[in-house]
Structure 1
Amino acid sequence: MADPSDRDGQFQWTKQWYPVAVVEFLDPDRPHAIQVIGIDMVLWRDGSGAWRCFEDVCPHRLAPLSEERVEADGTLLCAYHAWRFNGEGQCVSLPQSKDAATEATHCANPKARAMVYATQERQGLLWVWAEAGAAAELESQQRDPRLIPELDDTSGHSVKAFWNIRDLPYGWDFFMENVADPAHVPVSHHGLVGDRYQDAKYYDMPRLREISTQEGFAFAVTPTAPTIQRTSHDFQPPCLMRIETTFSDGGSLLLILYATPTRPGWCRHIGRQVLLKNAAGKTPPGLAFFALPMPTWLGHVLASLFLHQDLVFLHHQERRLAKRQGRWLEQVYTPNPQDKMVITFRQWLENRAGGGIPWSEHYLEPIAGGNHRALFDVWGTHTQHCHTCQRALKRITWLITGVWGGALFALFLAVFLDARFYTLTTAHQAQASLWQMPPLSVLLLLGVAVLLGISGYWLKQLRQLFYVYEFHHADND
């Protein structure tokens, strides 16, 4: 396997670009709290339309800037004492000052500045450099993020699905370990991608690119189906796993899997799939049904069906390893070639990247208390951060109210139109008349009421996916 010696320096975790948000999903009228390697940050859009990233701390009294306001003039206002900051972090208003001259003096003091992290928008994502300061700004300009060339293709040769983003309750290393392990896919994702009883097969993983501290490594997967020509997994630190499957007819499926380490026990996943057509213009199959045309919000809420299938394994696997307090390679048994890339990833992390992420000392504690349902939280991990899904949730709630209101109205109208409604109140109505066929208009209204009631029920089930989606393998027959 990999040579444990470090030939090209230790990996520098803070001198990297990390994807932290999908720009179109951000609400530009409010600040957004994020974390990168344990550093509390805030994203906000200034008056020029540029997204900025500050440390999530007001220099005055250390209030979180993510709880503050983006004002109409494009400044970030701390709602604790009304200090204002421009996009460069300069304090431009300090209203409690004695007079204008004193205010100008206070604003010019370096201690009044917010700490700024470099940002850039590329391929629909907002990227943040994990070091602040003038020197970090210059370093950030000398390195590009881990971009995907196929996303810049405008020839019509590709079909680009929606971006998905989710905070996951397990660490960055366990995310990368998981996506370096194609053997788990038909087993953990039984029913969506493959069959645990038919598709758990032997295959080899030959190395495509030798291990590098800065550039990662790549492996191939020997084909397990006649329709597949080749599959490759390409790890590009710190955040990208690029998985490409080329089919026998020449088309390809590209899975773009980003993960940003946020805090211990958590990571932020941003993913997308791209379908590359073959020479005849045929589009290849995508991952399950997620490449089908659908509204973005629907793709987001349905992503739980996939992400939650292996979530429990990874969450508890991480905690069990932490309890044992030993080297990963000493705690596991990996006899098959399907584990080659997982082993190489763990060796890269141990020998070339300091053994793990150098967390900031200022981070929030991961989920605690053994709350199993909290692991499947969708609201806190996605919906509350996604402006697109919040709009869709409001519309669905309005629709549920309208549908159930329509059902009740149709039912009331059916009863009102049925002449027997009146005759049943009289003591002289013949018993036989109680069993007469209702008028056609009444039957139609009753049918409408039933259909609207059923629609309301399923809309309510859909709305629940914006909040929580629990998954249990014992129920996945």
Structure 2
Amino acid sequence: MCSLRALSAAAGGVPAAAGLKKSGPISVSVPAQVQNCAVPDFRKAAVALRVWIERGGGGGGRGARSSSAVHATLQSRGTDEEKIEEEKEEERSRSRFNWTTNWYPVIPVADFDKAVPYPFHILGRKVVIWCDKEGQFHCLLDACPHRLAPLSEGRVDEAGCIQCSYHGWSFRGDGSCAKIPQAKPEGAQARACEQTRAQAVALPLLVKQGILFIWPDESSPELARRTPPPTASCVEGEGWCAVETFRDMCYGFDTGMENLVDPAHIPVAHHMVNGGVLGKRSQATALDLEVKAEGPLGFSAEMKKAVGPPSIHTFDAPSRFTYEYELRNIKGARAATTTYCTPTQPGRCRIIVVNARNFMIGLSSGPAWWQIFPRWLDHQLMLNLLDGDASLLHEQERTLVEKSGNQPEAWAKAYFMPTTADRYVGAFRNWLIRHAGKGIGWAPGVDLNLPPLLEKKEDIMNRYSSHTQMCKVCSAALEKFKLARKLLFLVGLAALGVAAVLADPSSRIKAVIFAAISGAIGWWLGGWIQMFYYKGYNHARIP
């Protein structure tokens, strides 16, 4: 007797035996000549079976199915299985975080110098940002397609394109080549700009709430257009004011973000900073933190208080953490601090802080004539805050790598966190392991090793390299301070010269006093100038 399964496969009536097995038993009535076929008649019987199936064999008898019914059943069951698998894959995708398809903050627009190209790193890739003549911002990978020279070393040309400083090639905001000075005006060289290899790689960019955001995936511009950036809370509300600042830190994204989500460290690590506005060591206390919801896109939480409503805290993956709170001593006063941590390079990150409030608006910096508080001073006050834990975080990061054997999931064994004050830290680390691939999604080819340990605090807390030279406002303020100091010293010297030739003793004394005052003010300005380079913070020397 020949097998029905073998006949079906040979006749082509059923796609595959494996398909039958997966779908379960199927009852099909067949003609007697097929059932009683001998082995030598196998092929004839197979053909007869196929013809019988195609004609709707079985005559509608009990348990019989036409070939179309059999195929419909198999197709339906296969479709159900495919749908289940698709749903599982969709669920897995939802549980995975994609590092490249997100907006990352770069710099407040008010601090961006539009006269020069701006180099930046995002997920280990070096990019260049510039502003054209119409005030539009653009971003390209920082490599000229000609000979790979950094475009950030170039300039913004008369047409608003970025021009490479090596051979003068120019590129538009979409990456297309605008000019090759060495190309002949006719023949193949005249069409060189149109070739694909002459194009630079462009990345999406946008400005929201006065902050420049970058999208590090050049292959998904449409998704970038549909995705809103992670904006700061309350900034656009009526009656609110906000000020932003930024700084490049000598520790990585995971260390930086872990620090930002940790409210327990603030009164200790930032003891007496700016007169103690954030607290002092003696105010360290138990914190009742509770994570309300968590998932691939972050977590929401609250800090309960003995008096008043709880503070609301939100981590929006990958880079934003928001504190919202009310001030008990000022009626109706509310504030929100939004912190961003942008992964630039391994062992490095950029911190951006947006402080918003609905009280004491007159003391805020801004473009209005009555906002007399200088923006550069807002920046320096925030840099004082970031100095407080910069050095310890730089070393802590390396110690964690050592204690965990460079295994991100071993963080819980390396840390000992017995109190509820550390719940946000645990929630962030769990997000990193469960949803974000156990670490930052660096670009291919990036060296993942941490940079060498910096021994000198002057290097770790260097304000000039980490902020001033990249901030239009602070670099301009620094130059004004330098000029004022020079003028004061020159005026003092001139007053001493006048005093030397004056015959009247009283006039001579007045000139000397004037010179002394000018010199003293110039010396005093030296401390302000130093603030733009390095100020430092030593916990042991602050009572």
For Structure 1 versus Structure 2, the TM-score category normalised by the shorter chain is 0.7 to 0.9
Q: 2 CA distance for matches of 1:285 and 1:393?
A: 22
Out of 202, 227, 244, the residue aligned to residue 116 of structure 1 is 202
In the alignment, which of 522, 526, 529 is matched to residue 456 of structure 1? 522
2:245 to 153, 161, 164: 164
Instruction: Note closer, same or farther for the CA distance 1:150–1:313 as it changes in structure 2 (3 Å cut).
Output: same
Cα 1:84–1:366 change in 2 (3 A) is farther
State the AA in 2 paired with 1:200.
Answer: A
Gaps of 5+ in 1: 287-291, 420-437
| Partner residue in 1 for 2:223 | 139
Which of 12, 25, 29 lines up with 2:115 in the alignment? 29
1: CA distance between counterparts of 2:422 and 2:130? 42
User: Could you say which residue in structure 1 is the equivalent of 2:23?
Assistant: none
Match of 2:539 in 1: 473
C-alpha distance in 2 between matches for 1:462 and 1:184: 28
TM-score (normalizing by structure 1): 0.86
Cα 1:41–1:141 shift into 2, 3 Å? same
Relative to its length, the structure with more strand (as a share) is 1
Pick closer, same or farther for the CA change 1:363–1:301 going to 2, 3 Å: farther
> Is 1:6–1:213's contact at 8 Å kept on the other side of the alignment?
no
- 1:63 and 1:84 mapped to 2: Cα distance? 12
One-letter code aligned to 1:48? E
Q: Deviations over 1:70-109 (max 9, x none)?
A: 1011111112111111111111212222333423421111
Matches within 5 A, 1:168-247: 168-192=249-273, 193-207=277-291, 209-214=292-297, 216-223=298-305, 229-247=309-327
Tell me the equivalent position of 1:128. Answer: 214
Superposed CA deviations along residues 325-349 of structure 1, whole A, max 9, x for unmatched, are 2411110100011001111110011
Matched, 1:354 2:437: yes
Deviation (angstroms), 1:443: 3.8
Deviation at residue 253 of structure 1 after TM alignment: 1.4
Change (3 A) 1:285 1:223: farther
Q: Is the 8 A contact 2:363 2:373 kept in 1?
A: no
| Aligned-partner SS, 2:268 | helix
Q: CA 1:446/1:24 → structure 2, altered by over 3 Å: closer, same or farther? A: same
Gaps of 5+ in 2: 1-90, 365-370
State the shift of 1:204 in Å. Answer: 0.7
Q: Take 2:498 and 2:450, find their aligned partners in 1: how far apart are those partners?
A: 54
Q: CA–CA distance in 2 between the matches of 1:343 and 1:272?
A: 24
8 Å contact 2:97–2:296 — kept in the other structure?
yes
Provide closer, same or farther for how the CA distance between residues 83 and 402 of structure 1 changes in structure 2, counting only shifts above 3 A.
same
Residue 322 of structure 1 aligns to a residue whose secondary structure is helix
Q: Kindly tell me: are residues 283 and 70 of structure 1, through their superposed partners in 2, closer, same or farther at Cα, counting changes over 3 Å?
A: closer
Alignment pair present for 1:38 and 2:120: no
Q: In the alignment, which residue of structure 2 is the partner of 1:406?
A: 491
**Alignment deviations for residues 104-132 of structure 1 (CA, whole Å, 9 cap, x no partner):** 42111111110010011111111111101
Deviations 1:157-202 (A, max 9, x none): 2122x21011111111111111211111111111124554420111
Mapped partners of 1:122, 1:103: distance in 2: 41
Contact 1:168–1:268 (CA under 8 A) maintained in structure 2: yes
Once residues 54 and 362 of structure 1 are traced to their aligned partners in structure 2, the CA distance between those partners, rounded to angstroms, is 18
Q: Which of 75, 81, 84 is the matching residue for 2:161?
A: 75
Distance in 1 between residues matched to 2:481 and 2:338, nearest whole Å: 30
**Is 1:298 the counterpart of 2:374 in the alignment?**
no
Question: 2:170 and 2:147 mapped to 1: Cα distance?
Answer: 14
TM-fit CA distance, 1:415? 4.0
Query: What residue in structure 1 maps to residue 393 of structure 2?
Result: 314
1:417-468 CA deviation, whole Å, 9 max, x = no partner?
355xxxxxxxxxxxxxxxxxx52x3443333223222211121111112222
Task: Please give the alpha-carbon distance, in whole angstroms, between the structure 2 residues aligned to 1:149 and 1:369.
Answer: 36
Query: 1:205 is paired with a residue of what secondary structure?
Result: strand
Q: Which residue of structure 1 aligns with residue 74 of structure 2?
A: none
Q: How does the TM-score come out when normalised to structure 2?
A: 0.76
Percent of aligned pairs with the same amino acid:
31
Count residues in correspondence. 436
Whole-angstrom distance in 1 between the partners of 2:417 and 2:499: 67
**Equivalent position of 1:84 in the other structure:** 170
- In 2, the alpha carbon distance for the partners of 1:195 and 1:43 equals 38
Cα distance in structure 2, aligned partners of 1:166 and 1:57: 25
Q: Is the 8 A contact 2:326 2:332 kept in 1?
A: yes
SS of the aligned residue for 1:8 comes to helix
Answer 1 or 2: higher relative contact order, Cα 8 Å, separation at least 6. 1
CA shift in 2, pair 1:151/1:138, >3 Å: same
CA distance in 1, matches of 2:333, 2:186: 66
Q: Superposed, which structure 2 residues align to 1:365-444 within 5 Å?
A: 367-368=451-452, 370-372=454-456, 373-417=458-502, 419=504, 439=506, 441-444=507-510
1:50-69 matches, cutoff 5 A: 50-69=136-155
Give the CA deviation at 1:211: 0.3
Higher helix share: 2
1:418 and 1:474 mapped to 2: Cα distance? 54
| CA drift at 1:16 | 0.3
Aligned counterpart, 1:264: 346
Supply the distance in 1 between the matched residues of 2:363 and 2:322 (Cα, whole angstroms). Answer: 17
- The alpha-carbon deviation at position 283 of structure 1 amounts to 6.7
